[in-house]
């Protein structure tokens, strides 16, 4: 069964079980299936032959989920855009999408040809017009969703994931940690907004196993009291987050097994999981499994996993990121593209049945990062991750990046994305952004700037520039420190000496 068939199956088998809860809102499997059918019928009638993807704008509302499923049931990919994305960046995405309509669960400030707002969405659902049949659904080899991620040009790039990739991924993820049977009907914790691919791990693994998604809104996540209250109320059995989020929770003493007695599995992805975090978690949740997974959005969330047992945590540091799922091959390649021997570092290359079909409307970028090989008559897609690592007896170890992409508090950022957006601000002639790294993790960012405007007070100028920059990029990408320089140091190759600037920011 594919994911849409599974949702239909649970709508019949357990119609009154909640598929999702978010704050005061909740929706059962039956309601979700019906509402998305009604909206899909409308989309099919309205968009006709135009099969362009549809942007869905909002946050953690159950309507966001209805809209996403309605798009794919109408045969169109959806592209989730979270409210935390600044308007100008949302506009860039909408322009690129160029679809006939946009579904706006939250108020959309951007200019767009046809926006269907939440009142209209509710009215359409209330009309209960049904007519969509499974043969209209997105086909296996068609794009199911597009997730935009930071791009080095200063514009986000859209990773296209087909229904096949998602279904192949889910066949594996439903068995991750606890067994399929143990997962059935469980509550999954959702931390990441739907516009980040980490959310696919909880959202669709949950729907594929008939569970209930417990979505933590950004308001809840920004208030410790609300957060702990929500975690307690959730009765979550499966935890899905970045390690950074768990580290924030660990700073609160209430966060332990007594708060969440049902919790039996932690699933981590997206950034380095440290031995220290695992040790602290195990003290608070001695009965739970802790699983580290690894993968980029381009290969559908995660492609490797490893159970971080007490013995492993005590004997290996840094921790490994796991062995590949069935259907994935991990290769380590040198600069020339040749295989490197076990134990030696090189670029991590992912091949297999969850690798994306490429970046949306970006053939050049797609050609650079993706490739195809013929394996015994089958075409297999590959993706050059830009990650550095090594294999040791089939176990993958991650050791960093070969380019300027970083992870900050779990967010993927291309440093050039920030630099190119800084250059859009009046007065900035040159900009270099440097990550401040402590214990192997980026803790904050510093911007080094050559500015030709007037600086009366550097603090005030920095504040004004930060405010302007927020129009273009999300808050998590805004450098904390701004340093004004007359010129940049140059290295022997005649390039800006980033290493030296990095030294300055310590
Ligand atoms: P994203 O596309 O946002 O999921 O980010 C993908 C990138 O996050 C990868 O290319 C890695 O650089 C990093 N990453 C993902 N999983 C891990 C992990 N378990 N440990 C360290 N880095 C990770």
Domain limits, the chain: 1-162, 174-316, 327-401, 410-504
Nearest atom in ligand 1 to 198's CA: 4
Cα(193) to centroid of ligand 1, in Å? 16
Helix (H, G, I), strand (E, B) or coil at 53: coil
Cα(440) to centroid of ligand 1, in Å? 14
Q: Whose CA is nearest to atom 5 of ligand 1?
A: 296
d(CA 343, CA 504): 34
Cα(267) to centroid of ligand 1, in Å? 14
* Beta carbons of 55 and 156 less than 8 angstroms apart: no
Task: State both tokens at 82.
Answer: 């979270």
For residue 223, CA distances in Å to 226, 234, 247 come to 5, 16, 15
What residues does ligand 1 touch, defined as CB less than 6 Å away?
149, 197, 269-273, 292, 294, 296-297, 321, 385, 387, 398, 407, 412
In 10 A of CB 25, how many CB atoms? Answer: 13
251 pLDDT above the threshold of 70: yes
d(CA 458, CA 290): 46
CATH numeric code, 327-401: 2.30.38.10
d(CA 202, CA 178): 14
Nearest atom in ligand 1 to 302's CA: 16
d(CA 505, CA 280): 30
Report DSSP state, residue 490.
Answer: B
* Beta carbons of 451 and 428 less than 8 angstroms apart: yes
12 pLDDT above the threshold of 80: yes
Q: Which residues does 102 contact at the CB level (< 8 Å), separation at least 6?
A: 54, 55, 56, 57, 94, 108, 112, 114, 115, 116
Choose which residue among 191, 195, 268, 294 to substitute to test ligand 1 binding: the one with the highest number of ligand atoms within 8 A of its C-beta: 294
d(CA 274, CA 441): 10
What was the pLDDT predicted at 473? 97
Tell me which residue has tokens 């089958």: 378
What was the pLDDT predicted at 55? 97
Between residues 81 and 181, the one the model is more confident about = 81
* Beta carbons of 173 and 179 less than 8 angstroms apart: no
d(CA 171, CA 260): 27
Q: Note the pTM of the prediction, 2 decimals.
A: 0.95
Task: State both tokens at 500.
Answer: 């030296």
d(CA 179, CA 183): 6
Q: Whose CA is nearest to atom 9 of ligand 1?
A: 296
What was the pLDDT predicted at 505? 57
Cα(218) to centroid of ligand 1, in Å? 22
Rounded to the nearest 10°, the torsion over CA 415, 361, 77, 49 is 160
- 327-401 and 410-504: same fold? no
- Candidates 3.40.50.12780, 1.10.3090.10, 3.30.9.90, 3.30.565.10; CATH matching 1-162: 3.40.50.12780
d(CA 350, CA 369): 11
Average pLDDT over residues 88-111: 92
Average pLDDT over residues 347-374: 97
Rounded to 5 degrees, φ, ψ at 158 are -95, 115
Cα(301) to centroid of ligand 1, in Å? 9
Q: Which helix (H) or strand (E) element contains residue 9?
A: helix 3-13
Nearest Cα residue to 206 out of 189, 230, 220: 189
Q: What is the mean pLDDT of the chain?
A: 95
Q: Whose CA is nearest to atom 8 of ligand 1?
A: 270
Nearest Cα residue to 318 out of 395, 384, 228, 415: 395
Task: State both tokens at 50.
Answer: 């135009």
Cα(506) to centroid of ligand 1, in Å? 25
437-451 residue pLDDT tens? 988 889 999 999 999
* Beta carbons of 392 and 379 less than 8 angstroms apart: no
Cα(411) to centroid of ligand 1, in Å? 9
CA 274-443-410 angle, to 5 degrees, is 60
Rounded to the nearest 10°, the torsion over CA 210, 241, 90, 100 is -20
Q: Whose CA is nearest to atom 6 of ligand 1?
A: 296
26-73 residue pLDDT tens? 999 999 999 999 999 999 999 999 999 999 999 999 999 999 999 999
Q: How many residues does the chain have?
A: 506
Superfamily of domain 410-504: ANL, C-terminal domain (3.30.300.30)
* Beta carbons of 90 and 81 less than 8 angstroms apart: yes
Q: Which residues on neighbouring strands pair with residue 116, listed in sequence order?
A: 103
Q: Whose CA is nearest to atom 12 of ligand 1?
A: 387
Helix (H, G, I), strand (E, B) or coil at 242: coil
In 10 A of CB 492, how many CB atoms? Answer: 6
180 pLDDT above the threshold of 90: no
Nearest atom in ligand 1 to 159's CA: 2
329 pLDDT above the threshold of 90: yes
183 pLDDT above the threshold of 80: no
Choose which residue among 383, 407, 410, 413 to substitute to test ligand 1 binding: the one with the highest number of ligand atoms within 8 A of its C-beta: 407
* Beta carbons of 33 and 11 less than 8 angstroms apart: yes
Q: Whose CA is nearest to atom 1 of ligand 1?
A: 296
Cα(114) to centroid of ligand 1, in Å? 36
224 pLDDT above the threshold of 70: yes
Percentage of the chain exceeding pLDDT 70: 98
What is the third-level CATH fold of 174-316? Rossmann fold (3.40.50)
């Amino acid at each position: 069964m594919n994911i849409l068939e599974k949702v239909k199956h649970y709508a019949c088998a357990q119609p009154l079980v909640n598929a999702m809860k978010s704050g005061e809102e909740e929706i059962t499997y039956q309601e979700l299936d019906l509402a998305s059918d009604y909206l899909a019928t409308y989309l099919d009638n309205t968009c006709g032959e135009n099969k362009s993807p549809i942007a869905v704008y909002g946050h953690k509302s159950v309507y966001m989920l209805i809209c996403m499923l309605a798009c794919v049931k109408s045969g169109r990919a959806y592209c989730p855009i979270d409210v935390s994305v600044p308007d100008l960046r949302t506009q860039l995405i909408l322009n690129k999408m160029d679809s006939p309509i946009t579904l706006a669960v939250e108020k959309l400030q951007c200019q767009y040809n046809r926006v269907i707002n939440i009142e209209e969405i509710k009215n359409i659902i209330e009309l209960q017009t049904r007519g969509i049949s499974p043969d209209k659904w997105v086909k296996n080899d068609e794009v199911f969703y597009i997730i935009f991620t930071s791009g080095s040009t200063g514009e986000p790039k859209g990773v296209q994931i087909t229904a096949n990739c998602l279904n192949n991924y889910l066949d594996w993820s439903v068995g991750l940690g606890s067994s399929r049977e143990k997962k059935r009907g469980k509550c999954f914790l959702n931390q990441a907004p739907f516009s980040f691919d980490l959310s696919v791990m909880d959202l669709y693994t949950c729907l594929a196993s008939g569970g209930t998604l417990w979505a933590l809104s950004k308001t809840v996540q920004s208030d410790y009291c609300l957060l702990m209250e929500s975690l307690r109320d959730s009765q979550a059995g499966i935890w899905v987050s970045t390690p950074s989020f768990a580290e924030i929770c660990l700073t609160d003493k209430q966060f332990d097994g007594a708060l969440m007695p049902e919790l039996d599995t932690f699933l981590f992805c997206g950034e380095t999981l440290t031995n220290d975090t695992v040790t602290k978690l195990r003290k608070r949740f001695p009965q739970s499994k802790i699983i580290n997974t690894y993968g980029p959005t381009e290969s559908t969330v995660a492609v490797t996993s490893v159970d971080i047992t007490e013995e492993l945590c005590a004997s290996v540091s840094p921790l490994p990121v796991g062995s590949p799922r069935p259907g994935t091959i991990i290769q380590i390649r040198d600069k020339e593209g040749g295989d490197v021997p076990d134990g030696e570092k090189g670029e991590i290359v992912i091949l297999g049945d969850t690798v994306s079909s490429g970046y949306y409307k970006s053939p050049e970028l797609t050609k650079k990062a993706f490739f195809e090989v013929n394996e015994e008559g089958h075409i297999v897609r590959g993706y050059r991750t830009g990650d550095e690592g090594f294999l040791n007896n089939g176990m993958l170890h991650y050791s960093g990046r070969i380019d300027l992409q970083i992870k900050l508090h779990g967010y993927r950022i291309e440093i050039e994305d920030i630099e190119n957006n800084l250059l859009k601000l009046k007065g900035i002639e040159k900009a270099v952004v440097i990550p401040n790294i402590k214990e192997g993790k980026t803790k904050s960012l510093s911007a080094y700037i050559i500015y030709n405007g007037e600086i009366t007070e550097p603090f005030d100028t920095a504040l004004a520039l930060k405010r302007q920059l927020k129009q273009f990029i999300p808050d998590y990408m805004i450098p904390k420190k701004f340093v004004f320089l007359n010129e940049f140091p140059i290295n022997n190759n005649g390039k800006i000496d980033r290493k030296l600037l990095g030294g300055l920011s310590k």
